Amino acid sequence: MKEQNYALVTGASRGLGRAYAFELAKRNYNLIMVSLPDDGLEEIANNIQQQYKVDVVYFEKDLTQKEDILNLAIDVNQNYNLNMLINNVGFGGGRHFLEVSSDYIDRMIQLNVRATALITHELLPNLIQRKKAFVLNVSSMAGMSPIGYKTVYPATKAFVYSFSRSLEKEFADTNVHFGVVSPGPMMTNDDVIKRMEYQGYIVRKAILSPEKVAFISIKKLLKGKNIITLTGFHKVQWALLHIVPVRFKMSILSKIAKNEVLSES
Residues annotated catalytic, as ranges: 153
Residues forming a β-bridge with 86: 9, 136
Tell me the C-alpha distance between 113 and 107, whole Å: 10
DSSP 227-255: EE--SHHHHHHHHHHHHS-HHHHHHHHHH
Give buried/exposed letters for 44-77 (b at 16+ CB in 10 A, else e).
bbeebbeebebebbbbbbebbeeebbeebbeebb
Angle at 92 between CA 39 and CA 229, to 5 degrees: 100
